[in-house]
Structure 1
């Protein structure tokens, strides 16, 4: 339904650009210097990992480099893409693997690097290195020949088969050769049937399985949309059905699905993986783009403005593997782990607190969000996300001036003499909207179809009041607009040990609470206070918007043997006086209490 604008047509502005700049200055922009799995990867002729980590990293690093037009980053992109393409085999095989070991090589990384190639070619345009498109074509055709000769998907590739439809769709639009569709059909035939796993997903994992792996699940929602785009299959709503099913049994307050590392139930003290947040965001972006279903854009916003920033430090030099909705401490336990299959250190902040997949994959979260601010619609331009950015395309220049989600209005500046339809998606949470001073019901999409005359402005304001939302467990959390709010817990940082090639700001650390955290809501009254938006958009020390709430202390204990709060307090009875306390945006907290009881 919608098409992405690539090839440098979207330029992030305001806080969004600043967030991308912080990403460049932090881990993502420096992994090629400090982390062996990128700096010395087999993909570029080194001795370290030659599977998913470099492609994961490039999947975010490429749009980051091009949207910021950063010459240093662009040179790094060219170096890595040149190394990958120049090392491919004569038959098209593109991964760093000896020919006699191909049968053992998990094809997930193969599908991923081919997806990355499409992203690179789209952004680089005529500036792409010679042979890039040929490398993509030959790589996917090599894969098709392997399938024809009896090669089967296994392990990760079997559970992520639909990711291969993305480069095949790209090729189909340009070549439309029979083998392309046949390769897609083989992927679908040999890949996992996720709908058949629905019943398995009703319980939390007791051990590690592909079937309940949280990243596989975060990715899989888009398989029907991709099959619709590739084969013309009907959209039956299976993605929504599976979404509702998983949210029922494992959903949390910030729109993600608990899994540490496999499905972990709905409790607020279990974790969910950074990779799953980034992949779930990408899933929402793909489904929204193909179907135009606004629900997926709403889900995207909830993840992007809450779960994504919460699990990465302000300077983006450290990240968690697992975050928790009620995260009252991040301390390595002396005994075994509280998490389902991850180690107890998985909620530390650092370079690689658990597996390195999140270290590489965190790159894609913010850049791909920026890629999806605007879409090309059948009738013109769709402003899909209310984020600060400029689009310069063949029919118009459109700029969105806004501090959303920290503020709830935006001005759309259109410069064009063409006739086209400008559409603005309105988030579902808005109770009503005001357009150039006129108040109206939330219509889902506000549209202006006209011949534009030079420079024109449209100001859209969204109406909401802060409120409490009750979870099925009986606890409540505060919400205002697209953001969830939490009680911030002051902390003390304690370093664990050094990581990386040289000492630096990525060293792993614990967070120890230095204040009382056991509280409940005394009433449902919440007041908004807007503050200055600073240099760090989701600052944990100076948030740009807060809620004032009335809270009272309650008795709430740790899980035995762990610095983890129990999922429920001992009682909802207040054990002290009511006090006014400021709640911070969930995404602007390191330690927090999000779900709380209503005290009596």
Structure 2
């Protein structure tokens, strides 16, 4: 424990802790109930956090873009003959698309207090609440082959939980209780049988534990055990090959490597969303091996396919041995599910590692997966991609078809599921702590309203342009003096972080991952400033041709490539299974090719022993649009020397050539190029080829 020196305010104590321990019980918010392990961090109700700055602008663009308009254009969301609105659970449209979309759409309504969005969401929620059958099942009557299909209902349970947080409508508790009693009666041979639901049983487990924490019904613990036993084995290593469930393809017809049997599935979304299941079960089992398995799952896929910047991995749809170059990508679904998993794991473990990673994906990989106006997106996004068109790039990427084009109708899973990314991230900016405090767990401009200490409701305004800015400023508003701990996450990249309170420095020299815990009796108007100095850093990806990436603080940087946008007709360029409602005006929802206008085949000329001498950071004005994720409006750039590599061209599949085929030297002259934050670059080179000086 490091207390403040005697000349500082005696009621203030600042300590640094590596993580928030799961001990004690918050008196104001519902965490884990015995016999579950205590919650390390506790989610605040939806709406408690109000976004500001570009996070607010993101929700506005989602509302005006695909998320807010899918109900009028997506065939799966049409109300006619929709099984989610049918009294008997039958209809043509009734699988995952409605709840995927509703997860984000409804929560944007709750967060922004948009009554029209809330009213539209209630059309679907009321139908679900009124759909429960005598046996306890609800919603569409779904089958996975010869077995009941529980997968789409796992997603809808998320929607119901958010609605309950917003409304406290007891019908949610009643429906979930009856439904889980029904699940307990389903024979194991019929339960979670089939591909998607067996792999993703952790989502079902999450909802069961959520309900247990509110009702204490002991049968829910029996169901939790049943779900875990019937979920795919995410703790398994050296598995029989037949237990590795996904489509398998090895480059050049080679043998499946032994390490491929260390994960039960390599589908990118399955992994991003389900690798956490052992840690979820750990709350009940209390077996450290379960928690360890989740950390190992995270590392295993990155060891073999994630040797790239941006936080994700090169799976395309299914990770393929022999295909791990930075031109391989990940589905937009995979990004938002990874962010959701990080947020879950942050609450379970109290480990700030998961906060760092959620920010890495949210601020680097995810923004470029969608158009700036949020009216189109593509299926696959990669660290290195220099052409987004409507061509088929298989086998360069795993998927056959126009999977790189920005299209509002394609990729039906991502088309609907992307909606959850930003609202869920915003909801987890703050979390309650077991000692009746509050933690700034993720950073971005916002205002939170939270009960702390003796139950006093306070608000904390967070002003910042983070991750583009080094300072984060907090102002506490409270109706009276109140004592509570305020935790500030210290990212792993931070060196010499500093905290001031009301202009007085209370702690400096904070380095490395952890939390700064400020224990204090707070008064109205107290101001806290967290300074996180951002330095240029480089990383060599030895397992990926020793490629080089550059970061500054939480942002990774890509080569600035001027982009030319070419409008395409969406109905003529959509993926084969795309569907839109009759009467939807596809002309109002065009697709976009993005083509490079400037050279992209550069590698960097840097002194890795003296990085500061190789880069010049250029800070500009904050954009009037409040949206920093475009080439034109990004507020920070980095200048660096570089050389072209003429041999580096598009290959026969139409993708950027692989790094392994490139020379290590270049006779081209040294030029100056510009790097911009990765999230603002829809065309980008982020993993630069090795260039021997």
TM-score (norm 1): 0.93
1:426 and 2:466 are equivalent in the alignment = no
Q: What do residues 100-137 of structure 1 show as CA deviations (whole Å, max 9, x unaligned)?
A: 99944422112221232112211223xx4x73332222
1:221 and 2:252 are equivalent in the alignment = no
Residue 111 of structure 1 corresponds to 154
Query: Is the 2:314–2:329 contact (alpha carbons within 8 Å) kept by the matching residues of 1?
Result: yes
**What displacement does 1:553 show?**
1.1
Structure 1 residue runs without a partner (length 5+): none
Query: Is the 1:405–1:483 contact (alpha carbons within 8 Å) kept by the matching residues of 2?
Result: yes
Alignment of 1:556-567 (within 5 A): 556-558=647-649, 560-567=651-658
1:490 to 562, 566, 574: 562
Structure 2 residue runs without a partner (length 5+): 1-39, 252-262, 572-579, 608-613
Residue 202 of structure 2 corresponds to 162
Residue 522 of structure 1 corresponds to 605
1:584 and 2:676 are equivalent in the alignment = yes
1:76 and 2:120 are equivalent in the alignment = yes
Residue 387 of structure 1 corresponds to 444
Alignment of 1:548-563 (within 5 A): 548-558=639-649, 560-563=651-654
1:122 and 2:160 are equivalent in the alignment = no
Residue 369 of structure 1 corresponds to 425
Residue 185 of structure 1 corresponds to 225
Is the alpha carbon distance of 1:335 and 1:175 closer, same or farther for their aligned partners in structure 2, counting shifts above 3 Å? Answer: closer
The CA distance in 2 between the partners of 1:572 and 1:332, in whole Å, is: 32
The CA distance in 2 between the partners of 1:496 and 1:399, in whole Å, is: 43
Query: Is the 1:556–1:566 contact (alpha carbons within 8 Å) kept by the matching residues of 2?
Result: no
Alignment of 1:259-408 (within 5 A): 259-264=315-320, 265-333=323-391, 336-340=394-398, 342-353=399-410, 355-379=411-435, 380-394=437-451, 395=456, 396-408=458-470
Question: Secondary structure of 2:402's partner?
Answer: helix
Query: Is the 1:112–1:163 contact (alpha carbons within 8 Å) kept by the matching residues of 2?
Result: yes
State how many pairs are aligned.
593
The CA distance in 2 between the partners of 1:522 and 1:204, in whole Å, is: 41
The CA distance in 2 between the partners of 1:391 and 1:67, in whole Å, is: 11
Residue 529 of structure 2 corresponds to 459
Decide which structure has the larger Cα Rg and report it: 2
Question: Secondary structure of 2:539's partner?
Answer: strand
Query: Is the 1:331–1:563 contact (alpha carbons within 8 Å) kept by the matching residues of 2?
Result: no
**What displacement does 1:517 show?**
1.1
Alignment of 1:122-271 (within 5 A): 122-125=165-168, 128=169, 131-147=171-187, 151-196=191-236, 205-206=248-249, 211-234=265-288, 236-251=291-306, 252-264=308-320, 265-271=323-329
Query: Is the 1:12–1:388 contact (alpha carbons within 8 Å) kept by the matching residues of 2?
Result: yes
TM-score (norm 2): 0.81
Question: Secondary structure of 2:488's partner?
Answer: strand
**What displacement does 1:92 show?**
2.1
Q: What do residues 450-503 of structure 1 show as CA deviations (whole Å, max 9, x unaligned)?
A: 211222001111122113221122111111111111112223333443344212
Residue 48 of structure 2 corresponds to 9
Query: Is the 2:342–2:357 contact (alpha carbons within 8 Å) kept by the matching residues of 1?
Result: yes
